[in-house]
Structure 1
Amino acid sequence: MIEQLRDYFDEMVVYKDLKKSNFFSILSLPSFMRDWLLKKFEDDNGEFDTTELLQFVRKYLPRQDDWTAIKNRVIIEGERVKFLAKIVVDIDIKTREVSFAMPDFGLPFKDTIIEERVWDNCKADLLCGGETWGMVELAYRNPEGYDIGFTEKTAKGAKKGKIKLVSFKAFCPYTIDLEYYKDAMGKFRVSERIDILLGAVDYNANGYHGDEEKKLTMLTRLLPFVEKRLNLIELAPKGTGKSYLFGQVSRYTWLVTGGNISRAKMFYDLNKSTAGLVAGNDFITFDEVQKMSFGDKTESEALGGMLQTYLENGSFRVGTYESTAYAGLVLCGNIPKEVMDADGYSNMFEGLPAIFKSSALIDRFHGFIKGWKIPRMNDDLKVSGWALNSEYFCSIMHELREDMSYRAIVDELIEVPDAADTRDTEAVKRITTAYLKLLFPNVRKANDISANEFNRYCLRPARLMRDTIKTQLGILDPEYKGKDMPVFNIKEV
């Protein structure tokens, strides 16, 4: 299969050896950045010069505490400085000025400028949505009057000094051809596709010793990567890799680890006029949600009300600001061994914060991941061999979110019984669609997949994920007790 993978995907395959080497873990680089570097420096045998790669990292991947030195070079020394960073752009309605921010270094919009000529050259890359990774080149625009002696008098009304973007080269080194990916994945059996997906996110398929259920439970974590506004809850023992997969694989996601979450941070900050996390990410993960703070009772209840509306239809309102977003929400928590319940009939949500003990809010979560079915991380589960480039794969998953054809196929195949609960139906269909995108991306029409495979890999696991939410709702609220899941059948096409 490996040779076939290299033949079909060529430039999108890299040699990953996380079992043998801790070189990249020492650098603390996310997977997509690591694989970009591997592709840049590896030869055809997967070998690379460690010294050469390390020199590149030191030169072009500055740390946060290097920012003052960079500002000195740009502002005081008058140098142009190039490095890899993620930036986000903004256009001022009143002045028509284009500015940018670099959140990792705390550089705000008000201190920057993108001049018209530069904007014309790089706007196609910078307008692709949210934060964009790339090679930035920074310089300094001196304040007006600087060359003649900048005084209080000359400064009044004059242009202020700003850091300017001189050039920008998009991080992604290749064009994402989604149709090619679909066709190429269709050349593999579903069991092989499962193994390919595991390798793409840094896991060694052989480490599961042929246990398909464990493999599929692990891959369930990828569902919100490919489907818009898919909301999931995962409870798992410590050490199963939740933080890594949700926070390090894709540049389109955001992992919140501890601290306080407010309406301003999540949705919109009226004081700063800046969008919250839901606006610029494919999904947001609350990691170790039991340890997070959501403000006092009043603040928590207000945030819970906003989340309830947002998880239902993607809309939100803060003050007079109204908008719609497409980010999903994933709650991740650790669960003690004695609380794990294979059938889901005990109260597994007891340890969640009060904000997530509302049945109305929990009902908006589409499915539950039984993380205790995922083995604790060990060396045998670390990828060691040729695999899809994580940077390429995360871009593919991001593009799949926009493809509505899979939902049309799901709507055609699933027969919904009369009087089925609307939320149950939508949850099952949404999860089923995500499974179809992930495991059967080559499917273009309903009869491209057998009823047996559709049920086994898409519909049945989706129903089971929703069924656990349904059972927990009955424990939280007597109103939901005894309400069974609808029985969905597959139509003949």
Structure 2
Amino acid sequence: MDELDRKINSAFPGYAVRKDLVKMVRGNAAVPSYVLEFLLGQNCATDDEAQIAAGVERVKDILAKHYVQRAEAGAVRSDIKQEGYRRVIDKVSVELNTRRDAYEATFENLGITHVLVGADVVKENRRLLVSGVWCIADLTYSANEAKDESPFLLTMLKPIQMAGFDMGEHVRARAAFSAGEWVDVVIRTIGLDPSQLSGREKLYQLTRLVTYCERNYNYVELGPKGTGKSHVFSEFSPHGILISGGEVTPAKLFVNNSTGKIGLVGYWDAVAFDEFAGKNKRPKPDIVDIMKNYMANKSFSRGIEQVTAEASMAFVGNTSHDVGYMVRNSDLFEDLPAMYHDPAFIDRIHAYVPGWEMVIIRGDMFCQGFGLIVDYLAEALRHLRAYDYSNLYAQWFELSDSISTRDRDGVTKTFSGLAKIVFPDKEMSKEECRWLLEAAIEMRERVKDQLYRIDGTFERVEFSYADRQTGEVREVKTLEEAEYAGAYHARDLVAGPPATAAVPPAGEDLFDAREPEVEAFATAPVVAAEGDDEAGADGPALFEGHREFRENQRGASYDTLFGDYLEGAREVRVVDPYVRNFYQCRNLMELLEVVLRRRDFSLPEVRVSLTTAPDEYPGSHQEDYLAQIRDAVAPMGVDFSWEIDRTGTLHARHLYVDDRWDILLDRGLDIYQRFDANDAFCLEASMPEMRRVKQFEVTYLKVGE
């Protein structure tokens, strides 16, 4: 167990579970993850391996003996009749039969109805009346002649989901964690390893959960296959439903005019449409019209009545082209069915999560440590639906007056949802508030920018906000605009240079609790440069000044960053305290490859030296890696040496080139997001410019003049 494992178990006793155990106990039982995790939380909440193994066997035994498979329901009903008694695990829902003045239960898998339930049981477990609850139940059999009564008698019913929830207790337990730690707890609870996700990827994982804690929230995520877009809607919460295929009738979704029964939006907190994209799909026009009205007004009309509901809607699907193609040739909504590729529908989307920034889920990315049982977090989010956090940012920031009411609603609802998840006690710093606000602005701006491309009646909007204390105005831009500035606003008659925006001051990284030397989530442009490019007498002009790169940007490699400055270099000195682990030493090797490509072969050799800090962890291979680098480049005319600075004062990162340039690197050489360097077919491994980067800054200073 690591420190975060221990904190989770200490702060949430009984609600912590080791996430890798779920696969061990599932077997062929079609039981939702939140049910399995509840059982595991009751039996395996310990760090003792022997007790965990015994607990896993108990859970397996419980499922094997009592879980009702639909295909075996008839045999189980027969066993109850012949044996007179059976304990079962099934999903149970209850309705009040006013004619009998009694509560009646329906067992979903077992296929029996009208089973009498005591009023005291219903009073203690009100969710039985709403969405149904997975339970362990004892049933007996007693034949009777009444047509409307069931021969099955309920003698015991015990929920195996959260039967109750204490919001005050949740807020107090959350206070034991820093913001970054809590984000990692939520990511672990979803089932993923936070150490393998970037800050923006963690943020988007949280945004998927906003549909559960924010009423009438409309969210879309389009991107490549295999990024886990639909996971949180199928496995995370008992309060959400995933509609496969993305198509549904008005009667099922809203109201059945024949029976007057309300549809899915009246029963679920989140209704998600899987595989929503697909130009060949032909949804019925009436459902699109009703959906647009519901998304805008929280109500819909079917028949003669106006009906109000609170369900949030999520639309997830796959894109058929990469983001570069969409930006240059169409728009980011191009894969939607024609009926939904409608400005009126798109304008009602509060947030667009760019699925192409999400990593493809691999087997090694699933969490192996402790997280919360998902049913606990799902209940926390459901309770937070009743609260409004949308104005928390107003004490520090003010949105631009140019942002319309609908855009403002999108920003504030996303901000409110993210704040509920990360800061349920409403206690956040100014910079933490800024991170969430900028993220919310960017996700709504992505929607509005596409409307500008699709419909000529829409005008460009400057998405900015002002600091109430300093008066500073910051403009927020999407990552796509920064990466494809020339093509992003295709309707622009005159294309100007990318706007310059301020970078948030350095501070604790909200989305990465692993180490202090990490990027903060920000929405600065890809390149914000100040300086001059005056040509020198000895060659072409080289940029002098400051550049900023955003997290998840592509196109930055050591060659594009430093190649021109290393052209014909005689001596290169690298100062970076974090050249310790294998991947950091591999980064150094890639820099030396650039030195080799730019070498002046009229010189006998190029001298390259490294000053770094020691790796004090037991079993360190730091000097072994550096020796291997020295031996590899020596035959190619590169004299590589290193010095280990043990004073503990080394911090700033520099790249000195001869006596001409001092290049300041705020992150050193550690600029790349994680990628699979061992995959022979991984483009990022062989093409550094295809890698996504962490947020970093570079300052080019000319020296020796």
Residue 52 of structure 1 corresponds to which residue in structure 2? Answer: 58
Superposed displacement of residue 436, structure 1: 0.6
Aligned residue identity for 2:334: E
Tell me the distance in 2 between the aligned counterparts of 1:94 and 1:320: 28
Partner of residue 112 from structure 1, selected from 111, 114, 121: 114
Of structures 1 and 2, the larger Rg is shown by 2
Contact 2:222–2:355 under 8 Å retained in 1: yes
Counterpart Cα distance in 1 of 2:279 and 2:123: 38
* Pair 1:371–1:267, CA change in 2 (3 A): same
Residue 152 of structure 1 aligns with which residue? none
Q: Under a length normalisation based on structure 1, what TM-score does the superposition of the two structures give?
A: 0.84
Alignment of 1:250-261 (within 5 A): 250-258=237-245, 260-261=247-248
Q: Which residue of 1 aligns with 2:15?
A: 12
Task: Tell me which residue corresponds to 2:213.
Answer: 226
Q: Which residue of 2 aligns with 1:68?
A: 74
**Structure-1 separation of matches of 2:192 and 2:40:** 17
Deviates more, 1:21-30 or 1:235-244: 21-30
Match of 1:36 among 35, 38, 43: 38
C-alpha distance 278-388 of structure 1, shift in aligned 2 (>3 A) = same
* TM-score normalised by length of structure 2: 0.60
1:454-483 CA distances to partner (integer Å, 9 max, x unpaired)? 011x11010000011112222332222x33
1:205-244 correspondence to structure 2 within 5 Å: 205-208=194-197, 211-244=198-231
Letter in 1 for 2:13: D
SS in 2 for 1:407: coil
Aligned with residue 334 of structure 1, among 318, 323, 326: 318
Structure 2 residue aligned with 1:360, among 329, 338, 344? 344
Write the deviation string for residues 394-421 of structure 1: whole angstroms up to 9, x where unpaired.
22122222233x2353565553444641
Residue 150 (structure 1) aligns with? none
Distance in 1 (CA, whole Å) between partners of 2:414 and 2:262 is: 28
The amino acid of 2:72's aligned partner reads D
Whether contact under 8 Å (1:282, 1:328) holds in the other structure is yes
- SS, match of residue 88 in structure 1: strand
* 1:116-150 residue CA offsets vs partner (Å, 9 max, x unmatched): xx1233333135632333223445564436xxxxx
**Counterpart Cα distance in 2 of 1:292 and 1:71:** 46
CA change 1:230–1:293 in 2 (3 A) is farther
Alignment pair present for 1:428 and 2:411: yes
In structure 2, what residue type is equivalent to 1:474? Y
Q: Match of 1:239, SS?
A: coil
CA contact (8 A) 1:424 1:486 kept: no
- Structure having the higher helix fraction is 1
Aligned CA distance change for structure 1 residues 410 and 205 (closer, same or farther; 3 Å): same
Distance across 2 between alignment mates of 1:39 and 1:172: 11
Check conservation: 1:18, 1:382, Cα contact below 8 A: no
Give the match for residue 450 of structure 1: 429
- Unaligned ranges ≥5, structure 2: 471-705
Give the aligned partner of residue 290 of structure 1: 277
2:39 maps to amino acid: L
In the TM superposition, what whole-angstrom CA distance separates every residue of 1:296-349 from its partner, at most 9, and x where no partner exists?
A: 6xxx11111111121123222332454322111100001134345797994122
Q: CA contact under 8 A between 1:17 and 1:383: conserved in structure 2?
A: yes
Provide the alpha-carbon RMSD of the alignment. Answer: 3.1
Contact 1:470/1:485 (CA < 8 Å) preserved in 2? no
Q: Deviations 1:425-467 (Å, cap 9, x if unpaired)?
A: 1111110001111122232xxxx422221011x1101000001
Q: How many Å separate the matches in 2 of 1:72 and 1:294?
A: 45
SS in 1 for 2:457: helix
3-state SS of the aligned residue for 2:437?
helix
Distance 1:293 1:319 in 2: 30
The answer to whether 1:201 aligns with 2:178 is: no
Residue equivalent to 2:173:
184
Q: Following TM superposition, by how much is the alpha carbon of 1:254 offset from its aligned partner in structure 2, in angstroms?
A: 0.5
3-state DSSP of counterpart to 1:478: coil
Q: Which position in structure 2 is the counterpart of 1:386? A: 370
Compared CA separation, residues 122 and 415, structure 1 to 2 (3 A): same
Cα distance 1:215–1:421, how it changes in 2: closer, same or farther (>3 A)?
same
Candidates 80, 83, 87, aligned match of 2:88: 83
Number of the residue aligned with 2:251:
264
Give the count of matched residue pairs. 462
Q: CA deviation at 1:487?
A: 2.9
**Contact 2:93 2:132 (C-alpha < 8 Å) held by counterparts:** yes
Give the Cα separation in 2 of the matches to 1:188 and 1:353.
Answer: 44
User: 1:148 corresponds to which residue?
Assistant: none
Alpha carbons 1:344, 1:471 under 8 Å: kept: no
SS of the aligned residue for 2:333 comes to coil
The percentage of aligned residue pairs carrying the same residue is 24
